[in-house]
Amino acid sequence: MSETAYDTYDVDPTKVEADIVNKWRDTNNGNVLTVLKRVEHPDCWLLYQEFQTAPYEFETEIKGFGSFRIEAVDLDTDTIADYIREEAKQLGEAESTDAEITALVDTLTKEADAMAEEAAEQWSRGVQEVLDDSAYNGVLGIDGTFVWVGHVEEAMHYEAKSTLPTLGIEDVSGLACGILKEALYEAVDKHRSRWKNPYAEYIGRLVFEPIPWRLRAIELQQQGGFPEKTAQVLALKEQGEKNSDIATRLDVSDSNVTQHLSRANRIVSEANWTVDNVDV
């Protein structure tokens, strides 16, 4: 399902109940509100934006529906490596006679590219874990499918610290870890917006795995007055699923599925009778 396909569903996202809500308002760009909320347990989420079109008038646009994963933005590893080499150069120019510092300068200079690649990979894993947790805690910064979080305790430190032993680099003084942490900050800074997320430390994008029948079920509830379970059964039937498969998916009996389909037919028949007999 492409993003534009969501337009085919007549659903008011503001009226869909949720147990977890993340939201962020872009006051510098048309007062646009982005909302990501979990509408069904365990993992069915609704992403939409609300636009103000006139005083006290708003329009909404669904941007995603279903389960999602978070993909980290790509860090520029050249930025990380260049920062490491520059710091190593400055350490060397300090003319330290400490053998440990001299060895560290040599290691940083030689291993800068490998450190950059590994640190970027470690950070990417951190993005997925930290942002996913933030979404479930309702504290995710979000604008469209762009997501972030800041003020994370020991942000970048874990990634920097994990990188060094992976490459077999000893860091007794902690200098290498500190330099690598700052190098990561430099690379992440290229993805920050000064007015939107100046303190973001982990940044990524939402990628949805659509669940069309669930969105159709919500549409049936809102527009047709169908009870929730009946709407789900009908949506799956419209999708072409067999009664036995519907029963398995919704954890109900086959006879229960038949009852819901009968109820759906009655609702449709009554609605048609009302339309055909209304006075105009």
> Residues 215-231: pLDDT tens digits?
999 999 999 999 999 99
Instruction: Categorize the per-residue pLDDT at 96 as very low, low, confident or very high, splitting at 50, 70 and 90.
Output: low
Question: What is the rounded CA–CA span in Å between residue 86 and residue 122?
Answer: 22
Q: To the nearest whole percent, how much of the chain has pLDDT over 90?
A: 79
The Cβ of residue 257 has, within 10 Å, a number of other Cβ atoms equal to 24
CA dihedral 84, 86, 83, 163 (to 10 degrees): 0
For 45-67, the pLDDT digits (tens) are 999 999 988 888 889 999 999 99
Please name each of the domains of the chain with its CATH number: 3-71 (no CATH), 73-199 (no CATH), 212-277 (1.10.10)
Pick 247 or 279 by higher pLDDT: 247
Instruction: Categorize the per-residue pLDDT at 78 as very low, low, confident or very high, splitting at 50, 70 and 90.
Output: very high
Instruction: Categorize the per-residue pLDDT at 279 as very low, low, confident or very high, splitting at 50, 70 and 90.
Output: very low
Of 51, 36, 74, 40, residue with least CA distance to 206: 36
